[in-house]
Amino acid sequence: MLRYLTAGESHGECLVATVEGMPAGLKVDVESIDRDMELRQQGYGRGARMKIEKDRVHFLSGLRSGVTIGSPIAIQIENKDNTIDRLPPVFEPRPGHADLSGALKYGHRDIRSVLERASARETAARVAVGSLAKCLLKEFGISVHAYVVMIGGIWAKMRAVSAQELARAIGHSLVRCPDRAVEKKIISAIDKAKAQGNTLGGAFEIRVTGAPVGLGSFVQWDRKLDGRLARALMSVQTVKAVEMGLGIRSSQSLGSESHDEIFWTKSRGFYRKTESAGGIEGGMSNGEDIVMRAYLKPIATLKRPLRSVDVRTKKPVKATYQRSDVCTVPAASVIGEAVVAFEMADALCEKIGGDSIHEMMRNYKGYLKQVHEF
């Protein structure tokens, strides 16, 4: 079993993550992890904070000469804006943020003690962990790509392309959207929202390629792969809905339009020509690409704030405003990619087992042979 925990406040000394269960013998590509860290900081519509931070991972334990040894891995990411004890208190909770419920729950009169941890700065640690998981998946030919498909109601037109082409198209886009034709429209929508002191939500899609059949299981509710992926995505700040494959559209379609017919050839084995199920049936991967979407609300910190109540005086006030992003959908897609990569790596470890990459690979080849000879 792979598992992880993170710690750290937005303006504290640093963020840390501990990862347990990573097999021994994995060469960790620190450069690719740092690249993902940088991607999380980018994307048109992000605020000034991201110009201060230069996120880099520092491995404190679990590696020798850049290779995992099977022991817990500790990762540290420095906060350059380490000002937590100098920042002013906050008493005007923002509608849509963790502020009020967190203050009431933990008994904090100063809401800063809530927002410092509720902040999505925490996701820097999750991207580090997910990117590490991508190193493991890569050994088994599995890749995960997330890209923006909609911002502020402006939808991209998606066409079928290879994973490499997709990665290239996302890499060239300021908003991580493979459809260059809508990019300009999205950028001007973000500019417009910013000028109006407003914020914008959207949606990103995630495609996992190369996953074998049989990750996850139908035998118990908490082993279902779709449930695990949905939970991971839902845990990302601002994500308010998750869809697998056709998702909501399938609830409005006929059965004959909603399922992927099954074919077989000697070279390919069993396969589908469509991806309505999004690559998961009965809580298990079916060997096709896994496709899912996450939908995000617009962020809660508004330059033209909504109405709120001062937690000290109980008088009406405008919600607090502090330096903030306008649109975080591109950055959130990087986080979504990371949390999905981690769940896929966990499901892979669970399916094929092994304490080292060597052992896992031996088991993996045996399993693929078994499936091929079925």
Ligand X SMILES: Cc1cc2nc3c(=O)[nH]c(=O)nc-3n(C[C@H](O)[C@H](O)[C@H](O)COP(=O)(O)O)c2cc1C
CA dist., res. 87 & res. 75, Å (int)? 26
Smallest separation, CB 195 to ligand X (Å) = 17
Question: How many chain residues touch ligand X (CB under 6 A)?
Answer: 19
CA dist., res. 314 & res. 83, Å (int)? 28
DSSP three-state, residue 63 = strand
**Sites for ligand X among residues 41-100 (CB under 6 A):** 47, 97-98
Q: Alpha helix (H) ranges present in 47-155?
A: 49-52, 99-106, 112-118, 123-139
CB-based contact 321:301 (threshold 8 Å): yes
Q: Quick one: 34 or 355, whose CB is closer to ligand X?
A: 34
Stretch that binds ligand X, among 100-108, 222-230, 322-330, 359-367 (CB under 6 A): 322-330
Closest CA to 155 of 199, 202, 192, 206: 202
Q: Quick one: 54 or 268, whose CB is closer to ligand X?
A: 54
Binding mask 223-252 vs ligand X (x if CB under 6 A, - otherwise)? -------------xxx--------------
Stretch that binds ligand X, among 114-122, 146-154, 174-182, 347-355 (CB under 6 A): 114-122
CA dist., res. 374 & res. 353, Å (int)? 21
- According to CB under 6 A, which one of 22, 24, 300, 349 is a site residue for ligand X? 300
Q: What is the total residue count of the chain?
A: 374
Terminal-to-terminal C-alpha distance of the chain: 27
Smallest separation, CB 204 to ligand X (Å) = 11
Smallest separation, CB 236 to ligand X (Å) = 6
- According to CB under 6 A, which one of 30, 84, 118, 167 is a site residue for ligand X? 118
Stretch that binds ligand X, among 17-25, 29-37, 254-262, 320-328 (CB under 6 A): 320-328
Instruction: Enumerate residues 6+ apart whose C-beta is below 8 A from 59.
Output: 28, 30, 73, 74, 75
Q: Quick one: 260 or 343, whose CB is closer to ligand X?
A: 343
Q: Quick one: 120 or 232, whose CB is closer to ligand X?
A: 120
- According to CB under 6 A, which one of 103, 215, 332, 338 is a site residue for ligand X? 332
Q: What are the tokens at 349?
A: 């470890």
**Phi and psi torsions of 342, nearest 5°:** -65, -45
- According to CB under 6 A, which one of 2, 120, 149, 339 is a site residue for ligand X? 120
How far from 138 is each of 28, 62, 357, CA to CA, in Å?
11, 19, 12
Q: Quick one: 323 or 365, whose CB is closer to ligand X?
A: 323
C-alpha 311: how far from chain center = 33
Smallest separation, CB 275 to ligand X (Å) = 26
**Sites for ligand X among residues 171-230 (CB under 6 A):** none
- According to CB under 6 A, which one of 10, 68, 301, 308 is a site residue for ligand X? 301
Kindly state whether residue 299 participates in binding ligand X, applying the rule CB under 6 A.
yes
Smallest separation, CB 234 to ligand X (Å) = 8
Q: Quick one: 239 or 284, whose CB is closer to ligand X?
A: 239
CB-based contact 70:2 (threshold 8 Å): no
- According to CB under 6 A, which one of 325, 337, 343, 346 is a site residue for ligand X? 325
Q: Residues 312, 314, 315, 317: is their CA dihedral positive or negative?
A: positive
CA dist., res. 22 & res. 231, Å (int)? 21
Q: What share of the chain is helix, strand, coil (3-state, %, to 5)?
A: 35, 20, 40
Smallest separation, CB 232 to ligand X (Å) = 13
Contacting positions for ligand X (CB under 6 A): 47, 97-98, 118-120, 123, 236-238, 299-301, 324-325, 328, 331-332, 335
